Structure 1
């Protein structure tokens, strides 16, 4: 069956080149693809109670961390998702941003992020998310980026708002976590939003 619309991002567009590194607007952060040497940092991140609380998947061994990194590279090549390590000038990993899933036909993707405990409260998450959004909307060809977080995760709500993601509503009982079902705020940023 043929498509009635032209894909927003033709298949093969992203995977035709290596996953890019993306600087934040202030150039103090760099979003770069995860590297195998990051496995220890990735595993340590998922030991943090806050990261574990708000994320469904956990990384609990060096082998799982290496598999997660390898999987992130395959996901880019398959144009299904993209993961970046957030680094400070000098290379220190301080967090993660991602397009958790990508729908190239409709130019739609869902963003996700976390920040390591020692870097929280320093503006890392909003700057990284804004940098990712600018690349995705202005360069990669996405039309709409969504972001969902548990209603109880007030810090994530602040990050979304600071990064230009408008609150659009609440998805009731939408995500299952270890402590049960959570209502989720839905935020979005659309091409042309200021």
Structure 2
């Protein structure tokens, strides 16, 4: 049975070119991951605040190198795309921003991010998310980006609001964290917002 619509973004939309480096215009750089980022990622994942909101732990730099290899290959598969968020001046790792759960045919994806403890509260997540959303919606042609976070994660809610992701509702008991099931806020930004 044929579909009545064509894919909004065809296969190959991302992978036909190398993964780009995206400057934020205000001192940050979203760049592809490198193997030498492993020690900084491992250090970031020792932060108890990251453990509270993130579902993974990093037991070793070797484990993180495996993550980075997966992140580097993700661009070609077009199901997720991961960037390191770095200081443009000295390339110091400040965090991560990603598009996950990409469905090119529907032109939708989920935005995810984390920041290192040293820069938390300094606007890094919001600046990186703004640059990523601009690239995805205006540059690539995604129609909808979603952002989801625990209802008790007030910092992520501020990032979502600051970056133009409208609150659409609450998904009850939607994600299992280390401390139990969390209700999740669902925010979204669509092309033209």
TM range, normalised to the smaller chain?
A: over 0.9
Residue 75 of structure 1: how far off its partner (Å): 1.4
Q: Which residue of 2 aligns with 1:118?
A: 118
Residue 73 of structure 1: how far off its partner (Å): 1.7
SS at match of 1:67: helix
Distance in 2 (alpha carbons) for counterparts of 1:52 and 1:60: 12
Q: Which residue of 1 aligns with 2:39?
A: 40
1:35-63 Cα deviation digits (max 9, x unpaired): 00000111111111111111112222111
1:63-106 Cα deviation digits (max 9, x unpaired): 11111011012211100101111011221111110112201010
Residue 2 of structure 1: how far off its partner (Å): 4.2
Q: Which residue of 2 aligns with 1:147?
A: 147
57-66 or 178-187, larger mean C-alpha shift: 57-66
Q: Which residue of 2 aligns with 1:87?
A: 86
Distance in 2 (alpha carbons) for counterparts of 1:161 and 1:191: 16
Distance in 1 (alpha carbons) for counterparts of 2:73 and 2:5: 27
Distance in 2 (alpha carbons) for counterparts of 1:58 and 1:111: 20
Q: Which residue of 2 aligns with 1:77?
A: 76
Where structure 1 has 5 or more consecutive residues not aligned to the other structure, the ranges are none
| Count of matched residue pairs | 192
Distance in 2 (alpha carbons) for counterparts of 1:159 and 1:37: 28
Q: Which residue of 2 aligns with 1:54?
A: 53
Q: Which residue of 2 aligns with 1:101?
A: 101
SS at match of 2:152: coil
Contact preservation (8 Å) 1:7, 1:106? yes
SS at match of 2:106: coil
Distance in 2 (alpha carbons) for counterparts of 1:115 and 1:106: 29
Residue 4 of structure 1: how far off its partner (Å): 2.8
SS at match of 1:13: coil
Return the TM-score normalized by structure 2: 0.96
Distance in 2 (alpha carbons) for counterparts of 1:82 and 1:131: 14
Return the TM-score normalized by structure 1: 0.96
Where structure 2 has 5 or more consecutive residues not aligned to the other structure, the ranges are none
